[in-house]
Structure 1
Amino acid sequence: MAKVSNRFWFQLHGWFSLPIWLIFCFICLTGTISVVSHELTWLTNPAARALNPDDLPEKPMPELISIVEQAYPTAKVSTAMNFEDYLVNAVIFTDSDKPFAIAYVNQYTGEIQEINQGMTFINFMRSLHGWLLFPWESNYSIGYYLVCLMSFVMLGALITGLLIYKKFWRSFTQPKIRTNQGKKTVLADMHRLAGVWSIWFLLVMSVTGLWYLIQAVLWHADYSLEDHPPLVSVMELPTVKDTPVRPLTFMDALEITKKKFPEFKSTYLMPPEHFRDTYKLYGEGDFIFHDKYAYGVSVNPWNGDIESVREPVQMTSLQTLSHIADPLHYGTIGGIWTKLIWFLFGILLTGMSITGFLMWGTRTVKAARKEDTPKEQETM
């Protein structure tokens, strides 16, 4: 009975891992590259490097927006983003001859180092990994669902793998790869060893992947996890015939935000799109497991009132999950060092999908030969 049960779990493990191994391997590989996409951008694009040879203090993001607006007087800035200390800030804008452009602004020198009018490597890899570049329609993408469903494959492969390898803890205390017993044994040992040491990583990827699936369903159902910042009341707008000028600047809004959150570091800014819109400032604080947008403030540009606030202590359970999923999935919780750990285990996970396929292929060919042998003997 034990042998039948073991065979069943082994077959189930194969079906979880192998029939779609190519898609699974591709998603693992693109995710691994996405983890270090910032670092690869720094290595391959000198214009994206935020060099600071004179050890200058970092300029606030509203000042970088002003620099772009001065360089392109007819431009309309929609967003400013901060990535890493060693990467430039990105100021996204449109202009008469630029339907979409990204200004790479050095946050230390204030120099515009490049104008990018295409897709960046970071966005390309995140999109390729996140939804396989399938189009988005009506708040959903088939590719996004397909990628999220891989979390079931990963979780199923983990559970069945542990049921097969009952004394898996030996790979922690007595790790071994037998190189003198043939290719089949080497592949099995490598697959088993990588799987055991990656248990925690597989769990993190599975759980965050399941959350992304839930999030996709919520998006598809038009359920908003975050409340939209309220509009300025019409009664608060100045009653003048000429186009009114907002008395508060983006820099004023940043100072108001820092009074609310002293440890606030801006990472994502959006200027008002119309007269009833607010300054929207998002950033990070002292909660390391939350993403770079866990703190948020919308500031009334006419009177300086804070219209809405986002902070971890006031988040609902779903909001908390949405803000801790990315740091856990991409390993950004501890900066470059945790990203390197996630990158290493991403390589292991990608390798496991390959070794698993090779093992399955070897057994399949061997089984096919055994089935063909009696037929050949009967013919003779």
Structure 2
Amino acid sequence: MVKVSNRFWFQLHGWFSLPVWLLFCFVCVSGTIAVVSHELTWLTNPLARADNPHNLPTKSVAELVAIVEQAYPTADVGSVIALESYLANSVIFTDSDKPYAIAYVNQYTGEIQQINQDMTFINFMRSLHSWLLFPWPGNYSIGYYLVNSMAFVMLGALVTGLIIYKNFWRAFLQPKIRTNQGKKTLLSDLHRLAGVWSIWFLMLMTATGLWYLVQAVMWHNDIDIEPHAPIADISQVPFNITEKPQPLVSLDGALLMATQRFADFKPSYIMLPEHQRDTYKLVGSGDYVFYDQYAYNLVINPWTGEIEQEISPANMNTLQTIMHIADPLHYGTVGGIWTKLIWLVFGLILSGMSITGFLMWGSRTVRAAKTSDVTDKQLSAGIN
């Protein structure tokens, strides 16, 4: 059997980690910021906060829609997004002078605190991290492929790093950082220690990154993970020439049906019908810890009151389950603010590892170039 030298693994580790260090570092930093984008929004934009000093009950989504429609009589409300309890709900609508607008409505007081017609910081950071703001010409994005291909970089760096670092488990019990032996030794110790303590995080980011890559390939090839929402049969829509027909089921009624179907249903994304044959699409979360805020998905016919489609953790297939647990594991939302802080710390550590790795590589490259130059000069002198 051919024995592979440690030098080979070291060089391979460097090629996995360093030629793309700038892109990898950028993805790590943007992802780390995206983890706490909700909290940063709360800190930097007081109008996006959902203050509730008088402990008022939460208003229903239908009430929030009615508040926006009353303030903007010609508005067409399309959807409502509920994020954290400390952030105002987002009522998304269009109007004659607003092609796209988000009303930040305090779900406790009912006050419209701000009208935002630009991309939110939360969406910007998620988009920057996920696909580098590359365009989506159809059902794919080069940026999305680039970002998720970093999963192979992490996997390769992790495997080769563990091969190089003999007895790496000692770093858990006997961490070693030598500050008095020069910059090279200090960088090496920091890099190794951070790598060992981040093994679980690297494995998690690699696994979720590979899933996102698989998901991108499926999107690109028009393979649906979840079925498209059905539309109402044309025979179910009442025909009236003089006035627009009103649905049998109101938004409040649809939400009531959702809570009757799932007692733990908490709405997070509500889409109102866009046309007469469209349906209510109610998306929310429940008491399933490892599932995202879109784990429940109900499609309700506004004309018949029937549940046309239902997806929940109880009836998901394998791919749907992976899709709904990937985000909480990738962004650290499984345990609220505390797990987000853990993900923030290890995201910073991973970003720092890419920087220390580059500095170490740069130092060795310069030293190797100098050594090579000296050798060439000696050879040249000997020949002459």
Partner of 1:342: 343
Match of 1:49 in 2: 49
Closer, same or farther: CA 2–221 of 1 in aligned 2, 3 Å: closer
1:314 aligned counterpart, secondary structure: coil
Alpha-carbon distance between aligned partners in 2 of 1:204 and 1:177, rounded to the nearest angstrom: 26
Shift of 1:300: 1.3
Q: Distance in 1 between matches of 2:347 and 2:239?
A: 58
Q: Distance in 1 between matches of 2:180 and 2:62?
A: 63
CA–CA distance in structure 2, aligned partners of residues 132 and 204 of structure 1: 21
Percent identical pairs in the alignment equals: 66
Task: Tell me how far apart the structure 2 counterparts of residues 296 and 168 of structure 1 sit (CA, whole Å).
Answer: 45
Give the equivalent residue in structure 1 for 2:132.
Answer: 132
1:356 counterpart = 2:357: yes
Instruction: Trace 1:6-17 onto structure 2 (pairs within 5 A).
Output: 6-17=6-17
Measure, in 1, the Cα distance between the counterparts of 2:261 and 2:375.
80
Q: SS where residue 227 of structure 2 aligns?
A: coil
Describe the superposition over 1:82-103 as per-residue Cα deviations: whole angstroms up to 9, x where unpaired.
Answer: 1101111111111100001010
- TM-score of the two chains, using structure 1 as the length reference: 0.98
Residue aligning to 1:292: 293
Deviations, residues 318-358 of structure 1 (Å, cap 9, x unaligned): 11111111100000000000000000000000000000001
User: CA separation in 2, counterparts of 1:198 and 1:2?
Assistant: 31
- Mean Cα displacement is larger for which, 195-204 or 231-240? 231-240
Written as runs of structure 1 = structure 2, the 5 A alignment for 1:38-187 is: 38-187=38-187
Q: Distance in 2 between matches of 1:233 and 1:336?
A: 44
Q: CA deviation at 1:376?
A: 2.0
Deviation sequence 1:236-257 (CA, Å, 0-9, x none): 2223333211122100100011
SS of equivalent residue, structure 2 residue 267? strand
SS at match of 1:312: coil
**What's the CA shift for 1:4?**
5.5
CA distance, structure 2, for counterparts of residue 260 and residue 125 of structure 1: 35
CA deviations 1:133-168 (Å, max 9, x no partner) are: 100011001000000100000011000000101211
| Structure 1 Cα separation of the partners of residues 151 and 188 of structure 2 | 23
Distance 2:354 2:3 in 1: 25
The alpha-carbon deviation at position 378 of structure 1 amounts to 3.7
Distance 1:239 1:183 in 2: 79
Paired with 1:202 and 1:247, the residues of 2 have a C-alpha distance of 51
Deviation of 1:225 (Å):
1.0
Higher mean alpha-carbon deviation, 273-282 vs 347-356, is at 273-282
What is the Cα deviation at residue 126 of structure 1? 0.7
Where 1:307 maps in the other structure, the secondary structure is: strand
CA deviation digits over 1:186-211, x for unaligned, max 9? 00010000000000000010000000
Which range is displaced more, 1-10 or 227-236?
A: 1-10
Say which SS state the counterpart of residue 179 (structure 2) adopts.
Answer: coil
Whole-angstrom distance in 1 between the partners of 2:275 and 2:3: 70
Q: What is the alpha-carbon distance in structure 1 between the residues aligned to residue 299 and residue 177 of structure 2? A: 57
TM-score, reference length from structure 2: 0.97
Partner of 2:260: 259
Deviation at 1:66, TM superposition (A): 1.4
Matched, 1:35 2:15: no
Counterpart for residue 323 of structure 2? 322
**Aligned match of 1:312:** 313
Mapped partners of 1:122, 1:2: distance in 2: 51
Rate the CA distance shift 1:365–1:114 in 2: closer, same or farther, 3 A: same
Give 1:295 shift: 0.3
Shift of 1:379: 4.1
Q: How far apart in 2 are the matches of 1:4 and 1:156?
A: 16
Distance 2:263 2:204 in 1: 32
**Cα RMSD for the two superposed structures:** 1.3
Alignment partners' CA distance in 1, 2:277 and 2:100: 24
In the other structure, the counterpart of 1:208 is: 208
Q: Which runs of 5+ in 1 are unaligned?
A: none
Q: Secondary structure at the match of 1:328?
A: helix
What residue is the counterpart of 2:271 in the other structure? 270
- How many Å separate the matches in 2 of 1:83 and 1:209? 24
Partner-residue secondary structure (3-state), 2:196: helix
Q: Does 1:193 pair with 2:193?
A: yes
Secondary structure of 2:5's counterpart equals helix
Name the structure 2 match of 1:241: 241
Runs (5+) with no aligned partner, structure 2: none
Name the structure 1 match of 2:366.
365
* 1-structure distance, mates of 2:62, 2:345: 37
How many residue pairs get matched? 380
Runs of 4+ in structure 1 over 3 Å off: 1-4
The residue type equivalent to 2:264 in the other structure is: E
Report the residue type matching 1:161 in the other structure.
G
Q: What amino acid does structure 2 have at the position aligned with 1:368?
A: A
